[in-house]
């Protein structure tokens, strides 16, 4: 997430635990894995056609599930609510992971998220991920962007970090790359398409979706 994009942009980050198996103590964006139930949650507003097309490109996961997972993980890890009020929220038998979110009376707003990056971990690593990165403006949040009181304990030191200071933090390489792309987007110097570090097979490729 980004705030104050027109003045001095700040991005939302938190620190992983010292005992985490993957990337301990690193500062990262909120996020996590897609759950099977994410595909079952209806949306208040769908994402744009181009966003859905790019998410579906070379992917077996439904675009809506990816967008919903990003919304749920943001809620779980930060307590920040990205969505739109919808009366259907109170009529759904909420699956685990969505109960607190749906009790707010909101459903995911796919139109609030922009798909900005995709990266697959190269072969040979102990853990591999097919990660999609999304950008959303803090102005689209339905609650206070500085209130992290409802956050779970997966990330500590949650904070809005100025883009011009963020490289002082200890981050994974891919996070630094996504931050560079975010800066380009905010400056209007990004290239067409969504960057994709494609390591689906033994040959590493940089593509644009």
Q: DSSP 3-state assignment of 130?
A: strand
Task: Say yes or no to pLDDT of 21 above 70.
Answer: no
Question: Whose CA is closest to 107, among 144, 68, 135?
Answer: 68
* C-alpha to C-alpha distances, 72 to 3, 39, 80, 161, 193, nearest whole angstrom: 20, 12, 10, 22, 25
Task: Say yes or no to pLDDT of 200 above 90.
Answer: no
Mean pLDDT of 82-101: 94
> In which element (H, E) is residue 123 found?
none
pLDDT in tens, 128-175: 789 999 999 999 999 999 999 999 988 999 999 999 999 899 999 999
> How far is Cα 198 from Cα 167, in angstroms, rounded to an integer?
25
Task: Say yes or no to pLDDT of 40 above 70.
Answer: yes
Mean pLDDT of 6-19: 88
Task: Say yes or no to pLDDT of 126 above 80.
Answer: no
Mean pLDDT of 80-99: 94
For the entire predicted model, the pTM comes to: 0.93
- The pLDDT of residue 161 is 97
What mean pLDDT is reported for the chain? 93
Task: Say yes or no to pLDDT of 124 above 90.
Answer: no
8 A C-beta contact, residue 87 and residue 178: no
Q: Strand ranges (DSSP E) for the chain? A: 2-3, 10-16, 27-28, 84-85, 106-107, 114-120, 130-135, 155-162, 195-198, 205-208
Task: Say yes or no to pLDDT of 19 above 60.
Answer: no
- The pLDDT of residue 18 is 62
Mean pLDDT of 33-51: 96
Q: Which of 17-26, 64-73, 152-161 has the lowest mean pLDDT?
A: 17-26
Q: DSSP 3-state assignment of 19?
A: coil
- Top mean pLDDT of 13-17, 25-29, 135-139 is at 135-139
Mean pLDDT of 54-65: 96
- The pLDDT of residue 24 is 63
Task: Say yes or no to pLDDT of 96 above 50.
Answer: yes
- The pLDDT of residue 123 is 77
Structure tokens at 88: 């259907």
């Amino acid at each position: 997430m980004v705030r104050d994009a027109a003045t001095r942009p700040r991005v939302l980050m938190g620190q992983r635990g010292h005992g985490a198996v993957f990337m301990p103590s690193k500062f990262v964006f909120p996020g996590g894995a897609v759950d099977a139930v994410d595909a079952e949650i209806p949306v208040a507003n769908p994402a744009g056609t181009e966003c859905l097309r790019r998410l579906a490109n070379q992917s077996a996961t439904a675009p809506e599930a990816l967008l919903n997972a990003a919304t749920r993980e943001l809620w779980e890890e930060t307590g920040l609510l990205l969505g739109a009020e919808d009366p259907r929220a109170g009529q759904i038998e909420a699956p685990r992971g969505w109960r607190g979110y749906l009790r707010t009376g909101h459903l995911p707003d796919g139109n609030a998220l922009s798909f900005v990056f995709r990266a697959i971990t190269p072969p040979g690593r102990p853990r591999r991920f097919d990660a999609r990165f999304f950008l959303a403006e803090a102005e689209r949040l339905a609650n206070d962007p500085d209130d992290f009181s409802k956050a779970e304990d997966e990330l500590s030191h949650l904070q809005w970090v100025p883009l011009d200071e963020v490289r002082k933090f200890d981050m994974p390489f891919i996070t630094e790359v996504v931050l560079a792309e975010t800066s380009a987007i905010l400056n209007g110097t990004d290239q067409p398409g969504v960057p994709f570090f494609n390591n689906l097979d033994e040959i590493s490729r940089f593509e644009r979706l």
